[in-house]
Amino acid sequence: MNRNPYSRYYVPGPSPWPFFVAISANGMAVGLILWLHRTPSFLLMGMSLGCMLLSTFSWWRDLIREGDIGFHTRFVIKSFRDGVALFILSEVMFFFSFFWTFFHNALSPSCELGMRWPPPGIRTPNPSSTSLFETGLLISSGLFVTQAHKSMRLKDYDVGPFIGLVVTILCGTVFFLVQLREYYWNSYTIADSVYGSVFYLLTGFHGMHVVVGTLWLMVSLVRLWRGEFSSQRHFGFEACIWYWHFVDVVWVALWCLVYVWFGGWLYMWWFKMWDGDVYTFKYPDAKPSWYAYIQEEHAPSWYKIPDHLKG
């Protein structure tokens, strides 16, 4: 790297890590495509994942060394802040595209979906069960990591930040494990209607972000243990907190919209509360379960196929 004494910034020297990260990311993408086509290459996936981990670790190490040498001036830190803010904005737009797909199908379901949302045959997960526990975990983790940041700004480097980071890491790890358990017990897959596709894309990509945020918190914990943060210079930890709060907000929106509202449970609760009198008139033989999935014995008369058309 070359430092110009007449400039507020520095120019990093040639680095091999961007090239290796790009190659390993391409290898992981090819391995994923092969796995989706039922011809997995575990050797390619393992080599690509190992190269990705080693490259990112070395890249992060070089970046930390630059800061220790003194190249990260306040102008460089400002550029880091702008970069992280734009990165989080790009992540917001990434999830916005999936929410747009979800709303497009939920607000105006097509005839291929049975003109209803969720589509017939989909038993949506209960929002007051596993997902509610996951929501409590992420909200609690956001409070703990905020308390850790506050303790660091108050120059408490011994107890507060360590406890906050450790508890946040535990919450992120438990969240990911509980999400895997939920996937195992779900009654539908990613191939079951557009609901299954969008549901697993939204929750799956959010789970990947939780894993990345947890790893970032682990790195911050190691750096805190080594004494690399101070009350005035800890942008690496602060950027991690920004990212983790973004993960929290996305999950709260996902739980409220995907699980509660458009999962059919809010409508079913409203339907049951008014005893079917939702549109100021009643279906005497309609039941709350018909909205989520039609059962033959609970289907209203206007939904059943006439006998003379069954032949």
Question: What does the pLDDT average to over 147-152?
Answer: 90
Retrieve residue 277's tokens: 């009198």
pLDDT of residue 48: 94
Q: List the end-to-end C-alpha distance of the chain, in Å, as a whole number.
A: 80
**pLDDT: is 9 or 251 the higher one?**
251
pLDDT of residue 304: 59
Specify the domain boundaries for CATH 1.20.120.80 within the chain. 74-271
C-alpha separations of 78 from 13, 30, 83, 241 in Å: 20, 37, 9, 17
The DSSP call for residue 306 is P
* Superfamily of 74-271 according to CATH: Cytochrome c oxidase, subunit III, four-helix bundle (1.20.120.80)
Specify the domain boundaries for CATH 1.10.287.70 within the chain. 1-72
Retrieve residue 219's tokens: 């790195």
For the structural domain made of 1-72, what CATH number should be given?
1.10.287.70
C-alpha separations of 89 from 56, 95, 139, 154, 241 in Å: 22, 10, 21, 29, 15
Identify the residue whose tokens are 């196929």: 305
Q: How many CA atoms lie within 13 A of 242 on its CB side?
A: 18
pLDDT grade for 272, boundaries at 50, 70 and 90? low
pLDDT grade for 273, boundaries at 50, 70 and 90? low
**Chain CA centroid to CA 27, Å:** 23
CB atoms within 10 A of CB 158: 9
pLDDT of residue 286: 44
Nearest to 203 by CA among 138, 145, 140: 138
Round the CA-based radius of gyration of the chain to a whole number and report it.
25
Retrieve residue 34's tokens: 């092969």
CA angle 49, 50, 55 (to 5 degrees): 100
Q: Is the pLDDT of residue 73 over 50?
A: yes
Sign of the dihedral through C-alpha 188, 194, 200, 206: negative
Mean pLDDT for all residues in the chain: 82
Question: What does the pLDDT average to over 263-280?
Answer: 59
Retrieve residue 221's tokens: 């914990």
Q: Is the pLDDT of residue 251 over 90?
A: yes
By the 10 Å C-beta count (0-12 exposed, 13-18 middle, 19+ buried), 263 is classed as: buried
Distance in angstroms (rounded) separating the CA atoms of residues 28 and 49 = 7
